[in-house]
Amino acid sequence: MEFGVLMIKTIIRSFGFSVPDRVVTNHDLEKMMDTSDEWIQQRCGIKERRWITPGKETTLSLAAEASRDALKKANLKPDDIDAIIFGCLVSDHIFPGTGCLLQEALGFSKTIPALDIRNQCSAFLYSLSIADAWIRSGVYRRVLIVGSEIHSTSLDKTTRGRDVSVLFGDGAGACIVEAGTDKNQGIIEVQIASEGKYADKLRVAKPSSNDDPRIKFEPEFNPHLFPSMDGKYVFKHAVERMTQSLTEICKKNNITANDIDFVIAHQANARINSMVLQQLGIPETKTHNTLQKYGNTTAATIPITMSEAVDLGKINRGNLVALVAFGSGFTWGSALLRF
C-alpha cells in the first residue's frame, strides 16, 4: 500500500511479556526424576523455568498480562488494536481458540478478528508474516501478536519423560505491530517454512480426532498423551534449518552477517543457538538468551526474549535485528527488521 510516494511498512511498536511467579529449578526437578542440574545445564543451558500454579494462571491469563504489558509500553488502549493473532501449542480449550478469549479478557468495546495459529516454536514468525501482509496490504493498521504457553501441566515429570520435561517452561510474550513509513524502522522480510514428513519427531499424538471415544479412561500409562521427541534428530535439523533460513534471507536482502546488530533465536537449547551463530560468523555478544531462566516456552520465546533485550537496552531503535526459530512440524522461519 502506498500513500503518495511513501511505502507503508510494518513497524514494531512494542513488546511485553509475563511469566508465572513459581520458579522451578533444576534441583527441584532432581527431586521428581533421575536428572541433574549439571546434565541439564551442560546439554541445554537451562538453570530454571517458570511453571504455573494450577488454578492461578492460565494460558489466557498469561496472554492477557503480556498483552497489557505491550499495550502499556506502546501507550495504547485495547481499542487501538485492529486484530489479534494468537499462537499456542496447548490451548485453554480444544475450541474455541484462546485468541477469542483474549479479545474478551482485554475489554475491547468493539469486535475485532482473533486468529489462532498452531505453529509451535515458529508461531511468532508465522504470526509476524501474517501481520506484515495484513498491514502492508492495508487490511489492518495495528495487530497484537501473542504467544502464550502452559507446558507444565502436560509433561511426564518422571524419569520416563525427563528428556523432554526438563526443557519446557510456561510464559507468554506479546508484540504490537503497526503501519508506518519511517525509513529507519520496519520489517524487511519474514520467511516461513514447513516439512511435515518429520511430524512424528516432536509431537503429542493423542487425544486425536481419529479416536472414538476421543478420551477414555486408561489404567496403563499411555506415552502418546505426552510430548515425545527424537532429541538428536530435532537438534540436527534445528541447526541446519535455522542457519539455512538466516543465510537465505540475508542473501536475498543483500545483508551480510556483519551488518546484523542483534539476533534473537528461538530458546530451545543454548548449544543450538551457539552453533547457528558460529556458522553465520556472528559473535555471541550480538544475542540475548532467556532459556537459562525460562526454558523453552515455544510460541512465547521470541517475544519474551525480544521484550527483555529491549528492556535491557541491548536492542535499540534503528538496530538491524534478525529473528530465527525452528520447531515441531517441522516448521521454521526467520525475519529481518529494523527495530
Does residue 307 bind ligand UT7 (CB under 6 A)?
no
Does residue 232 bind ligand UT7 (CB under 6 A)?
yes
- Quick note: the x/- pattern for ligand UT7 over 189-218, rule CB under 6 A, is ------------------------------
CA 21 to chain centre: 19
CB of 156 to ligand UT7, least distance (A): 11
CB 132 within 8 Å of CB 121: no
Listed in order, strand segments (DSSP E) in the chain are 2-3, 6-7, 9-18, 23-25, 48-50, 83-87, 114-117, 142-149, 171-180, 186-194, 202-203, 228-229, 262-265, 320-327, 331-338
Integer angstrom CA distances of residue 132 from 141, 146, 297: 10, 15, 23
**Between residues 177 and 268, which has the closer beta carbon with respect to ligand UT7?**
268
- Residue for cell digits 502506498? 2
Question: If we measure between CA atoms, which residue out of 115, 62, 120, 64 comes closest to residue 88?
Answer: 120
Contact with ligand UT7 (CB under 6 A): which of 52, 268, 280, 300? 268
Is 296 designated active site? yes
Interatomic CA distance for residues 169 and 301, integer angstroms: 10
**Between residues 19 and 83, which has the closer beta carbon with respect to ligand UT7?**
19
Beta strands 320-327 and 83-87 are unpaired
- What residue is closest to ligand UT7 based on CB? 231
Does residue 234 bind ligand UT7 (CB under 6 A)?
yes
Catalytic pick among 44, 88, 121, 250: 121
CB of 307 to ligand UT7, least distance (A): 19
Return the residues of window 69-128 that contact ligand UT7 according to CB under 6 A.
Answer: 121
Return the residues of window 137-166 that contact ligand UT7 according to CB under 6 A.
Answer: 162-163, 166
- Running DSSP on this structure, what letter comes out for residue 253? T
From the list 35-43, 56-64, 78-86, 250-258, the region that binds ligand UT7 by CB under 6 A is 35-43
CB of 39 to ligand UT7, least distance (A): 4
- Running DSSP on this structure, what letter comes out for residue 21? S
CB 134 within 8 Å of CB 118: no
Residues involved in catalysis: 121, 266, 296
Residues lying near ligand UT7 in the complex (CB under 6 A) are found at 35, 39, 43-44, 121, 162-163, 166, 231-232, 234-235, 238, 268-269, 272, 296, 327
